[in-house]
Amino acid sequence: MSSSHERNDRKRWRPEGPKRGQGAPFRGAKSGAGTGPDKDGADWLWGWHPVVAALANPQRPTPKRLVATEERARLLTERFGKPAALEIVEAPDLRAILPTGAIHQGVALKTPPVEPIPIEELGALATGVILMLDQVTDPQNVGAIFRSAAALGARGVILQDRHAPVLGGALAKAAAGAIDALPHARVVNLSRALEQLGELGWRTVGLDGASNENLADVLDARPTVLVLGSEGEGLRRLVSEHCDVLARIPMPGGFESLNVSVAAAIALYEACRPGR
C-alpha cells in the first residue's frame, strides 16, 4: 500500500521536455481507441525486469513502443533518461493493449525479438555449459530455463529454429530479463549442431530418465552441452544418438518425472558447481 507521500509524489511528477509530437512522453489514448490487445503478445515484453533488461541491452533493435504508468515512467526516466518512445497511460489502458492476464507491473515494451547468434560463435570458446532444448515448446518452461541458465552461469541456450517459441510475451516475463542477459542460437538441425559442437571440443550429455547412468557420475570438468527433450516425448531418437552419453536425474522419492524447467535447473546446478 502506498504512503501519502508516495501518492503525492506521483501526482507532482510530470515528464519535462518538448510537447507531444516533438519526441516527448505523452498520455496514451483511452482503452480501445486505435489499438487492441495482441492475440499472444509475442512482440511485446511486459513486467519491470524484462523491460529494463531489454532497454539496457545495446544489441536490441530500436523499440517500437514503450508504454508505462506515470510512476513507472518516472523510474524509467531516472534510469535511462527520457526514452523517446515513451507513452504514459493509465493501468487499465495498458492492460487493454496486452493479452488477458498479462502481469505488466506498469510497463510494456513493443520490440523485435533479440537476435540469435551463430552456433559457431556460441561454441567457439569451449568452456563451461551450454543448454540445448529439443522441441521444448511451452513458453513458460523456456522462459524459466533461460532464467535458471543465466542465474547458474551457463554460456548460452540453443533452440530449434521452427519448434521453439518466440522470445517475447509470456516467455520473456518468465525469464525475468534473462533473454537479454544470455546469448542464444537457433538451428535447423539439432543433430548437426551437436556434431559442430563436438568438432569445437564440446562433450554432449543428454537427459534421459531411462538411462542407467546418474547425471552427477557422468559430468566432469570438460565443456558440456546439456540436452533436454520435451516433457511428453523426451529426446528424439536422432538427437539422443548424437549425444556422447545419456544420464538421468535420480529421484529417490519414486516420482516418475520432473517438469522440464525444474530438470534443467537441477542439471545446470550440478554441471556448473565450482570445482567440477
- Asked if residue 79 lies in contact with residue 48, where contact means CB atoms within 8 angstroms, the answer is no
Query: Within this chain, do residues 137 and 82 fall inside the same structural domain, yes or no?
Result: no
Could you tell me the residue range of the domain that residue 88 belongs to? Answer: 4-110
Q: How far is CA 255 from the centre of its chain?
A: 28
> pLDDT tens digit string along 129-154?
999 999 999 999 999 999 999 999 99
As for how many domains the chain has, the answer is 2
* 11: phi then psi, degrees, rounded to nearest 5: -70, -35
Considering the domain architecture, whether residues 69 and 131 belong to the same structural domain is answered as: no
pLDDT recorded at residue 1: 41
What's the rounded Cα separation, in Å, for the pair 161 and 52? 26
Residue 190: per-residue pLDDT: 97
> Is residue 107 helix, strand or coil?
strand
Q: For residue 82, what pLDDT is reported? A: 80
Closest-CA residue to 224 (of 92, 119, 132, 162): 132
Cα–Cα distance, 21 to 25 (Å, whole number): 9
Indicate the residue among 66, 82, 110 that finishes a domain: 110
Global confidence as pTM: 0.83
